Chains A and B, each alone.
Chain A
Amino acid sequence: MASEAVAQGHEAEHHALPAQVAPDVVARELVATTMGASGRFKAIAWTLGVLSIAGIVALVLKWLDQSDDSTRWGYVAALLSFLLSVAGGAPMVAMAPVMAKANWVRPVTRIAAMFSFASIVTIITLIPLVAILPPLVTEGARRRTIWFEAPDYSPHIWSIVGLVLLLITGIGLFYSAAIPDFASMRDHSMGWRQRWGKKFARGWVGTDSQWRTLRMRIGMFGTFYFLILVFVNFLITTDFGQSMVPGWRDAIFPMYHSISSFQAGVAAIVIALWAARRYMHLEKYVHVDAFWSLGRLLFALTLLWVYFFYSSFIVFWYGRSATDISTLNLLIRGPMMYAFIAAIILIWFVPWWILIWNKVRRSVNGMAIGAAVILVGVLIDRIRIFVPAWSVPPDQIHEKWLTKIPGTVYPDIFDILIMAGGISLAVLIILLMTRVIPVLSVWQVQEFNLLSKPIKYVRGQATMIAKPD
């Protein structure tokens, strides 16, 4: 099989298919990428490290300084939502091959799964917010939440549980798919990596039963992960968003949040792939084909985002009851109007015009640009939602609807440091992970090569893609 594949390697050029490489070569080369670290890598890692420490310090200081005033914490909430979106949304792609049996996605899954480690940062940002979250009952009046008669600590406890569960299942998803690669680390590397590989491979030799349990595990963790992600999105969006604003009753908002979280996740994966391809020289494995498919996915999600946004907007705009008006005034026309316009442009308009071209979706750099634009847009969108939501003073929080629209809250030095720090910490974690395990899943690249092979159909060129059950 392998030799035949190599023989057909030269044909693969004018296919949208990765060059067929022999499995052992794949293992050795991919494992090699984890070894050592270039000077550039070290420099980046150190700067990120410094930034993250600064961010954590700033978070502690802000907590000591402003713990009494919840209206100042909007930006931390926005950061929480953003990290949840990216770090939570990305691993969803990791389960695609099991669910959809899509072949192109196999090499991508590892990078996707790595993002689940970044959920640690999400939890860090959650801690102070949970403490500062206004109580359910203020001046005897119970504010509108999904916790109708529940005790006062309900939102806090459940959001913590949800995020921790998300982290655990995410790591579970990562690890269950990583075992064979730890095995190949054990076999093809030396030093601590080999020892770690030995430890984590847990005696993997690739027997039939081991493979079966592996696939079962991925499927299981994937399903759990999806359910928990939706659940967490629901909790965070209601407890840390909607219920902070009197009269904001937007049934679609959790869905909106989930969709744009998938969008951000896919965008992040595209950028990670681009970086891996560029700086780890993995052109042979990360082929344009993957970007092409991710591009279509991203495009669809972009349209879906604008659809979800419009479905809620038109109902508010048209219905125009007192609560609707106050919601629009706060979130769209209000203190964050310019952020809102920027978000629309960056999440929908620009990507739409970039990604609609097949040429762009087939190009690596074009995709990276589109993805970057989307990521920035999602961050701004989170800010325009959560900052006004938190800026509502707690003494109005239990009213029927918002009678007095609060002014714009601008970030103070703490907020800026915290956001920079949080994001760079997330990036740092992923960077470090690439030193521990190949950034592309070895066994899935091999499987990819095994299942898809270029064939000759009468006189024409085509690709046979096997779809095992």
Chain B
Amino acid sequence: MTSANFGGHNWGMVVDIDKCIGCQACVIACQAENNVPLNTQDRVERGRSISWIRIERYWEGDFPDTKARFIPIMCQHCENAPCEPVCPVFATYHNSEGLNVQVYNRCVGTRYCANGCPYIVRFFNYWEPVWPETLRNHLNPDVTVRSRGIMEKCSFCVHRIRRATRTARSQDRQLLDGEIQTACSSACPTSALNFGNFNDPNSKVSTMRKDQRHYTLLDQFATEPNVIYLAKVDTDRKVGAGEAASHG
């Protein structure tokens, strides 16, 4: 039960695990698009790397017939997001388009939301972000550079959504299906990542989510994610929480 009214749009994503080849293109695209600081070696070692989308890799089966399984994980933009109500300053909340938005100005950095997130897709800026001199001019002007001491996470490339909406309004027309592509989905070579509007019954994602392979991650938390996964076809078992733990 949620009291957010999704006027026109309810943005979401359908991830077809069957198509994912684990090439990490989405990770790089996201990094470049959203001004995510570089994950230098020491940051990764200290467990402070930031990657809004990550490819989890699991091994399935025993040698010799071992299969590599990939599953891209980004913010699931849950309807009942456990990260939202715990924030004392409304720095993260659910907007009317079904996005779980992070307001950098409000954030004081209690990191409570990060504890609340079962998918662990929220990241804290322990240091001021720094870029090598050569990359200074590559920063995306549409995206805030997050200062230290605040949380950040996948925003479904909200700036792209805004720009597309503005364009559509200026040409006074409705947004077309597939007009908006997030950085990761546009970078995906196998189009495993599909972004779209779940409120539009005949949008691509709406049709895809009707697929009988569909499932959501960690459903025991009843978070009602807006990211739907389609299971791999060569096995009826879902790549998800269940055997991920066993392969850990």
Same complex for A and B? Answer: yes
Residues of A within 8 A of B (CB): 318, 320-323, 325, 400-401
A–B Cβ pairs within 8 angstroms, 15 of them:
A318-B85, A320-B80, A320-B82, A320-B222, A321-B220, A321-B221, A321-B222, A322-B219, A322-B220, A322-B221, A322-B222, A323-B220, A325-B222, A400-B220, A401-B220
| Complex-state Cα separation, A318 to B82, whole angstroms | 9
Given contacts A321-B222, A323-B220, A401-B220, 6 further A-B contacts (CB under 8 A): A320-B80, A321-B221, A322-B219, A322-B220, A322-B221, A325-B222
- B85, B219, B220, B222 pick with most chain A CB within 10 angstroms: B222
- List B residues 207-239 near A (Cβ within 8 Å): 219-222
Query: How far in angstroms is the closest Cβ of chain A from B191?
Result: 32
Residues of B with C-beta under 8 A to A325: 222
Docked pose: A400 CA to B220 CA in angstroms: 9
Inter-chain CA distance A401–B220, complex, in Å, is 9
Q: How far is the CB of B180 from chain A (nearest CB, A)?
A: 31
Contacts of A320 in B (CB 8 A): 80, 82, 222
A390 to B112, CA, bound (A): 38
Query: In the complex, what's the smallest C-beta–C-beta distance from A239 to chain B, in angstroms?
Result: 24
Q: Which residue of A lies closest to B86 (CB)?
A: A318
- Give A412 to B246 CA distance when docked, in angstroms: 48
- Bound complex: CA of A281 vs CA of B117, how far in Å? 66
Chain B proximity of A317: nearest CB distance (Å): 11
Residues on A with C-beta less than 8 A from B82 are 320
Instruction: List residues of chain B with CB within 8 A of the CB of A323.
Output: 220
| CA of A401 to CA of B222, assembled, Å | 11
> Inside 8 A of B85's CB, which chain A residues have their CB?
318
Residues of B contacting A318 with CB < 8 Å?
Answer: 85
> B222 to chain A: which residues have CB within 8 Å?
320-322, 325
- Identify which of residues 183-202 in chain B touch chain A, using a CB-to-CB cut-off of 8 Å: none
A402: shortest Cβ distance to chain B, in Å?
Answer: 13
3 closest Cβ pairs, A-B complex: A322-B222, A321-B221, A322-B220
- How far is A210 from B128 in the complex, measured between Cα atoms in Å? 79
- Chain B interface size, as a band, is under 10
Cα-based distance from A158 to B85 in the complex (angstroms): 43
Cα–Cα, bound, A401→B82 (Å): 19
Q: Which residues of B contact A400 (CB under 8 A)?
A: 220
Which A residues lie within 8 Å of B219 (CB)?
A: 322
The chain B residue with its CB closest to the CB of A318 is B85
Q: Which of A321, A323, A401 has the most CB of B within 10 A?
A: A321
B residues 57-82 touching A (CB-CB < 8 Å): 80, 82
Closest approach, in angstroms, between the C-beta of B185 and any C-beta of chain A? 29
A80 to chain B, nearest CB (A): 32
Nearest-neighbour CB distance to chain A for B201, whole angstroms, equals 26
CB contacts (< 8 Å) of B220 on chain A: these are: 321-323, 400-401
A330 CB to closest chain B CB (Å) equals 15
User: For A320, A325, A401, which residue has the most chain B Cβ atoms within 10 angstroms?
Assistant: A320
Bound-state Cα–Cα, A318 to B219, Å: 17
Interface membership of chain B positions 78-112, coded 1 if the CB is closer than 8 angstroms to chain A and 0 otherwise: 00101001000000000000000000000000000
**Cα–Cα distance between A325 and B222 once the two chains are bound (Å):** 9
**Considering the chains assembled together, what is the distance between the CA atoms of A201 and B60 in angstroms?**
76
Bound state CA distance, A320 and B220, in angstroms?
10
A334 to chain B, nearest CB (A): 15
Q: In the complex, A146 Cα to B136 Cα: how many Å?
A: 60
Shortest C-beta distance, A88 to chain B (Å), equals: 36
Report the minimal beta-carbon distance from A328 to chain B, rounded to whole angstroms. Answer: 12
Residues of A within 8 A of B80 (CB): 320
- Residues in A with CB closer than 8 Å to B221 are 321-322
Nearest chain A CB to B116 CB, angstrom units = 10
CA gap between A323 and B220 in the complex, in Å: 7
**Distance in angstroms between the alpha carbons of A321 and B221 in the assembled complex:** 4
A267 to chain B, nearest CB (A): 38
Contacts of A321 in B (CB 8 A): 220-222
Q: In the complex, which residue of chain B has the Cβ closest to the Cβ of A326?
A: B222
- Closest residue to B221 on the A side, CB-wise? A321
Q: Mark B11-37, 1 if CB is under 8 A from A, else 0.
A: 000000000000000000000000000
* Shortest distance between the CB of A375 and any CB in chain B (Å): 36
Question: In the complex the two chains form, what is the Cα distance from A314 to B160 in whole Å?
Answer: 39
> In angstroms, how far is the closest chain B Cβ from the Cβ of A30?
61
Chain B, residue nearest A323 (CB): B220
- In angstroms, Cα B221 to Cα A318, docked, is 12
Give the nearest-CB partner of B80 in chain A: A320
A401 to B85, CA, bound (A): 24
Q: How far is the CB of B160 from chain A (nearest CB, A)?
A: 32
Residue of B whose beta carbon sits closest to that of A400: B220
The CA of A31 and the CA of B81, in the complex, are separated in Å by: 69
The answer for the CA separation of A186 and B223 in the assembled complex, in Å, is: 72
Q: Kindly state the separation between the CA atoms of A320 and B82 in the bound complex, as whole angstroms.
A: 9
Nearest CB in chain A: distance from B178 CB, A? 33
Q: How far is the CA of A321 from the CA of B80 in the complex (A)?
A: 10
Shortest distance from the beta carbon of A428 to any chain B beta carbon, whole Å: 50
CA distance A320 to B85 in the complex (A): 12
Q: How far is the CA of A125 from the CA of B89 in the complex (A)?
A: 54
Tell me the minimal C-beta distance from B209 to chain A in angstroms. Answer: 20
Kindly provide the distance from the CB of A336 to the nearest chain B CB, expressed in whole angstroms.
21
In the assembled complex, the CB of B242 is this many whole angstroms from the nearest CB of chain A, namely 11
Task: Give the distance to chain B from A240, nearest Cβ to Cβ, in Å.
Answer: 26
> Shortest CB–CB separation between residue B223 and chain A, in angstroms?
9
**B219 nearest in chain A by CB position:** A322
CB distance from A278 to the nearest CB of B (A): 52
A234 CB, nearest partner CB in chain B, Å = 26
Complex Cα distance, B221 from A323, in Å, reads: 8
Closest to A325 in B: B222
Kindly provide the distance from the CB of A144 to the nearest chain B CB, expressed in whole angstroms.
14
Q: How far is the CB of B8 from chain A (nearest CB, A)?
A: 28
Whole-angstrom CA separation of A467 from B219 in the bound complex: 61
Nearest-neighbour CB distance to chain A for B243, whole angstroms, equals: 16
Which B residues are CB-close (under 8 A) to A322? 219-222
Minimum CB distance partner of B222 in chain A: A322
A84 to B80, CA, bound (A): 40
Instruction: Give Cα distance in the complex from A400 to B242, angstroms.
Output: 13
For the complex, what is the distance from the CA of A320 to the CA of B222, rounded to whole Å?
A: 7
Q: Cα distance A227–B18 when bound, in Å?
A: 58
Complex Cα distance, B221 from A325, in Å, reads 10
Q: Could you tell me the distance in whole angstroms from the C-beta of A318 to the nearest C-beta in chain B?
A: 7
Q: How far is the CB of B220 from the nearest CB of chain A, in Å?
A: 5
Instruction: Name the residue of chain B whose CB is nearest to the CB of A401.
Output: B220
